[in-house]
């Protein structure tokens, strides 16, 4: 029985009940005198009853309430229980000239800054390592030297971590019998630094910053590794686990995963999960509000603002498996694994269009609408205002 049929039955029942109502209340037009009231009290007849009308009114209200409830339930039944998902088919296009101009303009050709991108913050600031110096490059084009790197530490600088307050800079040095990595904490406001850890025989990668804590994963090439937590305020370090498979972080949370890919949240929100989504999200990336992950040979994208999921089908080439590099707004950056063409690809999730980035190698980061990656030197592109990709 649908809601219209139920309404008809209820109204028919009410109509039959209303036929039993033979009288209703009478209201005096003005207050009666005491003697008139006394006269009425002396009469030996049953007073007029008004409860049948009240019952009819209650029945009418009940009918209205039931009908509205049925219609509301039917409306809820027709409303999608999950966020809207849109499917698009990938298509290939050339990189628009406006994009190429933005890349060329955003490429750092200065000799003192011609180095790789090693980190990016949620507000769009980018760390560049070059010529024994680490430099902070801001979206407004200004730069600031944040640390000199001693010659003996130029063996290598792994990926750094940066948020709105702190920078964690790892420097790798060759020592007798192997290498050691020193983690240095830098205050972005004062540029004062302190050494917080020295890791030997392991690569502390990745490094995460969240709520005045530094987290890092030390992989000793065993089946599992350890996760450490440095409390910046207290100046203390503790080991959280020695059974981690990897450390996962975003601007909203930090977690470690076990051998079965189970997520163990350390702080904030689960960085392996997507708001409003269930299941596993391989190679999940986020710029704070937008999320992207692999979905077989497809790329999935989700916005926690619009609550919309977009799946771009057949992004990977035959026999290839792209690696997620970054997501910035509606754009997803992936890196093909085929050696003959390692140029990264830009996927516009609004259209499904894919374009190649010329000579792209190395790491990419995004935040604040800024895409930064390494192309020999560094390339920093403001994606806001760029024309979308179309096939």
Domain locations in the chain? 3-78, 85-126+287-391, 155-278
Where residue 244 falls among pLDDT bands split at 50, 70, 90?
A: very high
Decide: helix, strand or coil at residue 301. strand
Is the domain defined by 155-278 classed in CATH 3.30.460.10? Answer: no
Could you tell me which residue, 256 or 156, shows the higher pLDDT? 256
H helices, E strands: number in the chain: 4, 28
Tell me 354's DSSP state: E
Could you tell me which residue, 134 or 318, shows the higher pLDDT? 134
Report whether pLDDT(327) > 70: yes
pLDDT of residue 41: 46
pLDDT of residue 217: 92
Where residue 40 falls among pLDDT bands split at 50, 70, 90?
A: very low
CA distances in angstroms from 229 to 83, 339, 379, 386, listed in the order given: 36, 37, 32, 40
* pLDDT per position as a tens digit, 43-78: 444 544 545 545 554 554 554 554 455 454 444 444
Q: Which of 312-316, 352-356, 387-391 is least confident?
A: 312-316
Contact predicate 18/56, CB 8 Å: yes
Residue 116 backbone dihedrals phi, psi, to 5 degrees: -80, 155
pLDDT of residue 50: 47
Report whether pLDDT(341) > 80: no
Q: Buried (b) or exposed (e) across 245-284, using 16+ Cβ within 10 A?
A: bbbbbbbbbbbbbeeeeebbebbbebbbbbeebeeebeeb
Contact predicate 127/114, CB 8 Å: no
pLDDT of residue 70: 47
Model pTM score: 0.72
* pLDDT per position as a tens digit, 106-154: 877 655 567 788 888 888 899 988 777 888 988 887 888 898 875 444 4
Top-ranked range on mean pLDDT: pick from 8-17, 127-136, 159-168, 227-236: 227-236
């Amino acid at each position: 029985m649908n809601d219209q049929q139920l309404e008809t039955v209820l109204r028919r029942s009410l109509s039959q009940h209303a036929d039993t109502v033979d009288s209703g209340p009478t209201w005096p037009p003005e207050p009666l005198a005491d003697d008139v009231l006394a006269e009425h009290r002396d009469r030996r007849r049953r007073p007029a009853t008004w409860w049948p009308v009240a019952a009819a009114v209650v029945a009418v209200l009940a009918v209205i309430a039931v009908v509205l409830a049925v219609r509301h339930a039917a409306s809820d039944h027709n409303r999608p229980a999950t966020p809207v998902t849109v499917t698009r088919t990938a298509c290939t296009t050339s990189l628009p000239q406006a994009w190429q101009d933005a890349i060329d303009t955003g490429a750092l050709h200065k000799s003192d800054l011609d180095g790789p991108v090693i980190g990016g913050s949620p507000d769009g600031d980018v760390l560049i390592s070059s010529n024994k110096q680490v430099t902070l490059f801001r979206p407004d084009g200004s730069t600031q030297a944040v640390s000199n790197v001693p010659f003996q530490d130029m063996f290598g600088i792994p990926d750094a971590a940066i948020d709105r307050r702190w920078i964690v800079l790892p420097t790798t040095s060759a020592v007798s019998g192997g290498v050691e990595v020193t983690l240095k904490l830098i205050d972005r406001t004062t540029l004062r630094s302190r050494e917080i850890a020295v890791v030997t025989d392991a690569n502390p990668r990745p490094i995460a910053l969240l709520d005045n804590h530094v987290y890092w994963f030390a992989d000793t090439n065993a089946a599992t590794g350890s996760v450490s937590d440095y409390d910046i305020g207290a100046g203390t370090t503790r080991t959280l686990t020695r059974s981690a498979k990897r450390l996962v972080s975003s601007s909203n949370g930090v977690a470690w995963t076990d051998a079965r890919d189970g997520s163990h949240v350390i702080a904030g929100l689960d960085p392996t999960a997507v708001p409003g989504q269930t299941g596993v999200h391989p190679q999940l990336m986020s710029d704070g509000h937008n999320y992207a992950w692999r979905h077989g040979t497809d790329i999935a994208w989700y916005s926690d603002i619009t609550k919309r999921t977009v799946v771009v089908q057949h992004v990977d080439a035959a026999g290839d498996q792209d690696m997620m590099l970054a997501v910035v707004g509606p754009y997803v950056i992936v890196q093909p694994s085929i050696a003959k063409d390692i140029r990264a690809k830009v996927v516009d999730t609004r259209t499904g269009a894919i374009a190649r980035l010329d000579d792209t190698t190395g790491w990419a980061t995004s935040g604040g609408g800024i895409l930064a990656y390494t192309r020999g030197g560094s390339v920093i592109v403001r994606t806001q205002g760029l024309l979308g990709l179309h096939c």
